[in-house]
Structure 1
Amino acid sequence: MGDSAALRQDRVGATFLGVAAHQGADAVQYVEAGVVVFATLAIAWAADQLAGRRGVGLATLVALTGAGCGTFLAVRVFAVATLESWGWALWSWVGAVVALIAFFLFRSKR
């Protein structure tokens, strides 16, 4: 009985510290998320340059929000992708582009 409790405690501690058996899959998921964020920032910068403005902060905010919405639509609403595949990344980039287009079309020009 003592060995069982110690083994269970080791598993709980290892999982809590992030040293689970499936750690490799989790690390790849973080790489995917990093690539998506970096590409979304590049999309925002490119859109800001094409628009001829220097407000890259607003473009970044809009692009990241659109990417989050695209990811939510792909994973939770339409269920066409999971976070283990790269399908959600495409949806997030499309969401960022659509949000930036809407932002530049409907922004106030005072």
Structure 2
Amino acid sequence: MPYLETIVCQAKEGKEARFERMVKSRIELSKRQEGCTNSWYGKSSSDNFLFLIQTVYRDMDSFHLVKKKVDGTLDPKDGGLESCLSGPPLLGLFEITEDALNMPK
């Protein structure tokens, strides 16, 4: 069963450009991993510091493997996303149906 990870977070003022670059690098690395179906982010239209980050994983094992790879590769280099956040992120991991992916069978 696929899983959708959703993160809503707010960058510190003055760190939003760096945070966005860090998010982009994590998304690109995630997308290159076998268990990641897709990943993307968006910025709020009314708050330049508010971000939504979503990633779809093939299954729970893929979630753990991809997260471990991404965090283990990038966090030591750039200090991790938390270094640019103004507070704790809102995180959610949701089971979704294959149909929700709207992908060819």
Select the structure that is richer in helix.
Answer: 1
- Normalising by the residue count of structure 2, what TM-score does the alignment of the two structures yield? 0.33
Higher relative contact order (CA 8 A, sep 6+): 2
Select the structure that is richer in strand.
Answer: 2
- Structure exhibiting the larger radius of gyration computed from Cα positions: 1
